[in-house]
Structure 1
Amino acid sequence: MHSVRLLVAAVVAAAVLAPVAASAERMWLGFHDDPVLRFDANRQAEMDLAHGANNASILRTLVTWADVAPTRPANAADPFDPAYRLDDLDELVRNAQARDMEVLLTLWGTPPWANGGKGRNVLPTNLADFQNFSRALAARYSGRYAGYPFVRFYGIWNESNLGLFLSPQFNAKGQIVSAAAYAKLAAAGYAGIKAGSPRALVAIGETSSNGRDRKKAGVSDAVSPGKFAELVAKANRKLKFDAWAQHPYPVPVNLKPTQKVRWPNVALSSLPRFEKALDGWFQRRNIPIWITEYGHETRPGEPKGVTEAQQAQYIPQAIALVRKDPRVTMFVWFVLRDSQGSPWQSGLYRRDGSAKPGQARFAAAAAALRATNGKVTVKGGTKDPALTVYVRSFCANNAPGTPVGITSKTTRGAAVVAVSQPSVALAPDCTVSYRVTGLTVARKQTYTVKASLNTANGDAVTRTITIVGV
Structure 2
Amino acid sequence: MPRHRFIRRALTGAALVATLACAPAQASPTQESLVQDDPLLLGAKTQDDVDLAFRSLAGLGVDRVRVSVFWDQVAPGRDSQEKPEFSGGGSGSPASYPRAGWAPYDRIVLAAQRTGVGLLFSVTGPAPAWATPGAHCVKAGPFRGCQEGVYKPSPEEFRLFVQAAATRYSGTYELDAPPPPKRDGFELPELGGMNLNEPPPPAGKGTVLPRVAHWSVWNEPNYPASLLPIWRDDRPRTKSQMVGEAPAHYRKLVDAAYTALDATGHGADTILIGETAPRGGKNPRQLDGPMTPAEFAREVYCLDSKLAPFRGRAAALRECPRNASERREFASRHPGLFRAQGWAHHPYSLAGGRWHPPTWRHPLPDNVPIANLGRLTSMLDRSAARWGMAEARKSIWITEYGYQTTPPDPTAGVSPARQGPLSAWGEYVAYRNPRVSTIAQFLLLDDRPLEGLAESDPGRWVTWQSGLFTVDRQPKPSLADYRTPLHVVQRGRSARAFGTLRPAAPGLPMNASVEFAPANRPWRTLRTAPVSGPSGYVNLPFRVPGAGQVRLVWTDTATGGRTASDPAPVRRSGNAG
TM over 0.5: yes
- The 3 A distance-change label for structure 1 pair 179 and 448 is closer
Would you say 1:167 and 2:228 are equivalent positions? yes
Name the SS of the counterpart of 1:59 in structure 2: strand
Q: Which residue of 1 aligns with 2:129?
A: 112
Q: Which residue of 2 aligns with 1:59?
A: 65
Segment of structure 1 superposing worse, 142-151 or 38-47 = 38-47
Give the superposition deviation at 1:78.
Answer: 1.4
Equivalent of residue 156 in structure 2, options 119, 128, 141: 128
Q: Which residue of 1 aligns with 2:165?
A: 137
Q: Which amino acid aligns with 1:241?
A: A
User: In 2, distance between residues paired with 1:204 and 1:368?
Assistant: 30
Name the SS of the counterpart of 1:183 in structure 2: helix
Would you say 1:306 and 2:322 are equivalent positions? no
Name the SS of the counterpart of 1:337 in structure 2: coil
- The 3 A distance-change label for structure 1 pair 107 and 372 is farther
Give the superposition deviation at 1:369.
Answer: 6.7
Aligned length: 356
User: In 2, distance between residues paired with 1:83 and 1:350?
Assistant: 34
- The 3 A distance-change label for structure 1 pair 242 and 370 is farther
- The 3 A distance-change label for structure 1 pair 448 and 162 is closer
Contact residue 135 and residue 194 of structure 1 kept, 8 A? no
Contact residue 36 and residue 339 of structure 1 kept, 8 A? no
Q: Which residue of 1 aligns with 2:93?
A: 78
Give the superposition deviation at 1:216.
Answer: 3.8
Would you say 1:361 and 2:481 are equivalent positions? yes
Name the SS of the counterpart of 2:439 in structure 1: strand
Would you say 1:257 and 2:273 are equivalent positions? no
Equivalent of residue 271 in structure 1, options 373, 376, 382: 373
Contact residue 442 and residue 466 of structure 2 kept, 8 A? yes
- The 3 A distance-change label for structure 1 pair 181 and 371 is farther
Would you say 1:34 and 2:38 are equivalent positions? yes
- The 3 A distance-change label for structure 1 pair 225 and 300 is same
Once the two structures are superposed, what CA deviation does each residue of 1:421-442 show, in whole Å capped at 9, x if it has no partner? xxxxxxxxxxxxxxxxxxxxxx
Identity of aligned residues (%): 29
User: In 1, distance between residues paired with 2:290 and 2:504?
Assistant: 34
Name the SS of the counterpart of 1:80 in structure 2: helix
Q: Which residue of 2 aligns with 1:294?
A: 401
Once the two structures are superposed, what CA deviation does each residue of 1:280-302 show, in whole Å capped at 9, x if it has no partner? 01223431111111110001112
Name the SS of the counterpart of 2:399 in structure 1: strand
- The 3 A distance-change label for structure 1 pair 29 and 89 is same
Equivalent of residue 245 in structure 1, options 333, 344, 361: 344
User: In 1, distance between residues paired with 2:405 and 2:299?
Assistant: 35
Question: Unaligned 5+ residue runs, structure 1?
Answer: 1-18, 375-410, 412-445, 450-470
User: In 2, distance between residues paired with 1:113 and 1:106?
Assistant: 21
Would you say 1:203 and 2:272 are equivalent positions? yes
Segment of structure 1 superposing worse, 42-51 or 261-270 = 42-51
Name the SS of the counterpart of 1:142 in structure 2: coil
Q: Which amino acid aligns with 1:357?
A: P
Equivalent of residue 111 in structure 2, options 83, 95, 119: 95
Give the superposition deviation at 1:371.
Answer: 12
Once the two structures are superposed, what CA deviation does each residue of 1:162-181 show, in whole Å capped at 9, x if it has no partner? 11110001112242111011
Question: Unaligned 5+ residue runs, structure 2?
Answer: 1-26, 78-83, 137-147, 174-206, 235-241, 303-319, 321-329, 451-462, 486-498, 510-530, 535-577
Q: Which residue of 2 aligns with 1:322?
A: 430
User: In 2, distance between residues paired with 1:223 and 1:87?
Assistant: 35
User: In 2, distance between residues paired with 1:82 and 1:336?
Assistant: 30
Give the superposition deviation at 1:49.
Answer: 2.4
- The 3 A distance-change label for structure 1 pair 259 and 188 is same
Give the superposition deviation at 1:123.
Answer: 2.8
Q: Which residue of 2 aligns with 1:441?
A: none
Name the SS of the counterpart of 1:122 in structure 2: coil
- The 3 A distance-change label for structure 1 pair 339 and 185 is closer
- The 3 A distance-change label for structure 1 pair 20 and 277 is farther
For the pair shown, the structure with the greater C-alpha radius of gyration is: 2
Contact residue 50 and residue 336 of structure 1 kept, 8 A? no
Contact residue 246 and residue 292 of structure 1 kept, 8 A? yes
Contact residue 172 and residue 208 of structure 2 kept, 8 A? no
User: In 1, distance between residues paired with 2:533 and 2:292?
Assistant: 43
- The 3 A distance-change label for structure 1 pair 220 and 362 is farther
Q: Which amino acid aligns with 1:208?
A: A
User: In 1, distance between residues paired with 2:135 and 2:399?
Assistant: 29
Give the superposition deviation at 1:50.
Answer: 2.1
User: In 2, distance between residues paired with 1:243 and 1:136?
Assistant: 23
- The 3 A distance-change label for structure 1 pair 300 and 448 is closer
Give the superposition deviation at 1:102.
Answer: 1.0
Name the SS of the counterpart of 1:302 in structure 2: coil
User: In 2, distance between residues paired with 1:335 and 1:50?
Assistant: 12
Q: Which residue of 1 aligns with 2:471?
A: 351
Task: Write out aligned runs for 1:440-451 (5 A).
Answer: none
Q: Which residue of 1 aligns with 2:439?
A: 331
Q: Which amino acid aligns with 2:246?
A: S
Give the superposition deviation at 1:20.
Answer: 5.9
Contact residue 76 and residue 97 of structure 2 kept, 8 A? no
Name the SS of the counterpart of 1:31 in structure 2: strand
Q: Which residue of 1 aligns with 2:21?
A: none
Give the superposition deviation at 1:194.
Answer: 2.2
Equivalent of residue 210 in structure 2, options 149, 172, 185: 149
Give the superposition deviation at 1:373.
Answer: 4.5
Once the two structures are superposed, what CA deviation does each residue of 1:21-75 show, in whole Å capped at 9, x if it has no partner? 6xx3xx22121111122214655433332221x2111111111111111244341
- The 3 A distance-change label for structure 1 pair 301 and 57 is same
- The 3 A distance-change label for structure 1 pair 34 and 324 is same
Give the superposition deviation at 1:448.
Answer: 7.6
- The 3 A distance-change label for structure 1 pair 448 and 47 is closer
